[in-house]
Amino acid sequence: MSDPIPNRIHARGVPRPGRWVGAVVVVVIAAMAIHGLVTNETFRWDTVWLYLRDIVVIRAIGWTLILTVGSMALAVVMAVVLAIMRRSDNPVLRGVSWFYIWFFRGTPVYVQLVFWGLISVLYPRLSIGIPFGPEFFAFTTKDVITAFWAALLGLAFNEAAYLAEIVRAGLTSVDPGQAEAAKALGMKDATILRRIVLPQAMRVIVPPTGNETISMLKTTSLVTAVPFTLDLFYATNAIGNRLYQTVPLLVIASIWYLVITSILMVGQSYLEKYYGRGFGTESSARRRRGGPGGRPSRQAAIAAAGTTTDDPFIEVTP
């Protein structure tokens, strides 16, 4: 087989001794850390192994996932509404949104969860009716807002404040010319937002929202403040206290949080590719190969059009 390129360059690489030194240092430190973990009696690896797949722990993972997904879903809906209010011409809506974000970002989520837990003490009866007038419908608070709902609402209300800023940054990133072109076609503001601006803002909104989801997974460990007692952190802690072995159960909780975070990270990296954050060669290659049609190429097309800008300050983590 003849090479079409004559005298192809075959050169030795630049020596990089620093890499080898670094690798040796890292291996030694890692070996020491692992050795320390395994030989340290306090970790009680037999207990870790015994309870790692305990049915109570597995159920607790389920509750933690329900809290994470449920509160994120509610928070996303609230955040979109808040972000739209924040950009509204109506000063009342703008003010309400500002106040909401100020309040829920400005107080610790732990304290908020305590208050959600106390809601049935603070307001034993909730009713629907005319303000200061007759009631149409009333219920006992503790029957409706159980510990689970208090935890879910508490997490969602707090998260919505952070997500609202992310959504707002996403909406702002879309080229104003897009809304202008839609306006010139006679579209109403609501249609422009839903059909033209939001789909393009997703490219900027989705990656940090993935980040927030991972953050939320761990924030669910604070629902003990409500108190909600079925989530992963509370459940493992309870077992630990019962056995007088707190440390191994903390290790179990950490292992499971890491496992779920890793799965979420894989999902996030797919989402980021899908929404074309890294404009790179891949999206243009796919475009050449795949041609039009299909959602991946649609997102690549948005990215390539450059009608949205990247905001380096958008990565907001509580």
Partner 1 sequence: MTADTRPTAAAPADLMVELTGIHKEFGHGHGAVHVLRGVDLTVPRGSVTVILGPSGSGKSTLLRCINELEDITAGSVVVDGERMGYRLDDKGVLHRLHPKVIARQRRRIGMVFQRFHLFPHLTAAENVMEAPLRVRGLSKDDARAQAEELLHRVGLSDRAGHYPAQLSGGQQQRVAIARALAMDPELMLFDEPTSALDPELVGEVLAVMKDLAKSGMTMIVVTHEIGFAREVADDVVFMDQGVVVEQGPPSAVLDAPRERRTRDFLAHVL
Toward partner 1, which CB reaches closer, 28 or 181?
Answer: 181
Nearest to 113 by CA among 202, 31, 233, 242: 233
DSSP secondary-structure letter at 231? S
Position of tokens 């306006």? Answer: 183
The correct pick among 114, 298, 311, 316 for binding partner 1 (CB under 8 A) is 298
CB atoms within 10 A of CB 138: 10
**Footprint (CB under 8 A) of partner 1, residues 139-178:** 175, 177-178
The correct pick among 180, 282, 310, 315 for binding partner 1 (CB under 8 A) is 180
CB of 188 to partner 1, least distance (A): 5
Q: What is the dihedral of CA 237, 238, 242, 247, to 10 degrees?
A: -10
Compose the 216-255 pattern: x for residues touching partner 1 by CB under 8 A, - for all others: ----------------------------------------
The correct pick among 101, 196, 204, 216 for binding partner 1 (CB under 8 A) is 196
Residue type, 210: G
Q: Determine if 206 is a binding residue for partner 1 (CB under 8 A).
A: no
Q: Determine if 305 is a binding residue for partner 1 (CB under 8 A).
A: yes
Q: Determine if 4 is a binding residue for partner 1 (CB under 8 A).
A: no
Q: Determine if 296 is a binding residue for partner 1 (CB under 8 A).
A: no
CB of 76 to partner 1, least distance (A): 19
Nearest to 164 by CA among 98, 251, 245, 229: 98
Q: Determine if 290 is a binding residue for partner 1 (CB under 8 A).
A: no
**Footprint (CB under 8 A) of partner 1, residues 258-287:** 287
**Using an 8 Å Cβ cutoff, are 176 and 308 in contact?**
no
What the block records as the tokens of 27 is 């291996």
Task: Give the residues lining the site for partner 1 (CB under 8 A).
Answer: 175, 177-178, 180-189, 191, 195-196, 199-200, 287, 291-293, 297-302, 304-305, 307
